[in-house]
Structure 1
């Protein structure tokens, strides 16, 4: 275990893979959700979400969260898990949404481009996960 992402972790996390985010929920069992995410050059993980999302309420009560990202079926087992404290930011979420839409969708598809344009008209928050514990496996 380490407290920061390695160059190999960053390379892996820059692939368009889904992450599974879990917010601390006190006595409740964790409820992971698939999310689009971006790893930044400074090693934080960020994602966007609706202001009224349950994860926002949970993170405001308890900022601890984790994300697990795994290679898809057909590849050798490879995963990275990042746990730490989060911040909920009001700036930059729209730009992040646009970048992630281009990363995860083929925007040459008019339906996807239209869907992303509609998303960009909505209000979003940006969640930033600051790594405190990083675990990994590459088989």
Structure 2
């Protein structure tokens, strides 16, 4: 489903903007999240277990994600939509792995170390977006 140039963009430590179905009377509100592409071509993220987005995903298990190249680069984005599954396992491992992708862990940083320990100790939920439709643009 993903093209080579999509995977190159998605392999970078960029934020994905996750959008879930809003509660009644509200507009969709994308949230920036860390993510990775799985070997099966899904996107996975993690969340705190009490996050409101998880309640909405339990009610309507579908979402979309947009990842874009940063300013200063030619326009390039990938948008993915599809059903979502929530998993009680693997959230902490995913969070720690993604911390290594998004943070420079070569130099000690007490705040990052504290957060990584919280990830390891927490009951993080793994969110898997199963890509059904992919839109893209590359300048």
When normalised by structure 2's length, the TM-score is 0.92
Q: Alignment RMSD, CA only?
A: 1.2
Deviation beyond 3 Å, 4+ runs, structure 1: none
The equivalent of 1:6 in structure 2 is 3
Q: Deviations over 1:73-94 (max 9, x none)?
A: 1100000000001000111111
Between the aligned partners of 2:23 and 2:51, the Cα distance in structure 1 is 17
Q: Deviations over 1:57-101 (max 9, x none)?
A: 000000110000000111000000000010001111111011100
Q: 1:20 aligns with which of 17, 42, 59?
A: 17
Number of residue pairs aligned between Structure 1 and Structure 2: 136
The equivalent of 1:40 in structure 2 is 38
Structure 1: segments with no counterpart, 5+ residues: none
When normalised by structure 1's length, the TM-score is 0.92
The Cα shift of 1:7 comes to 2.3
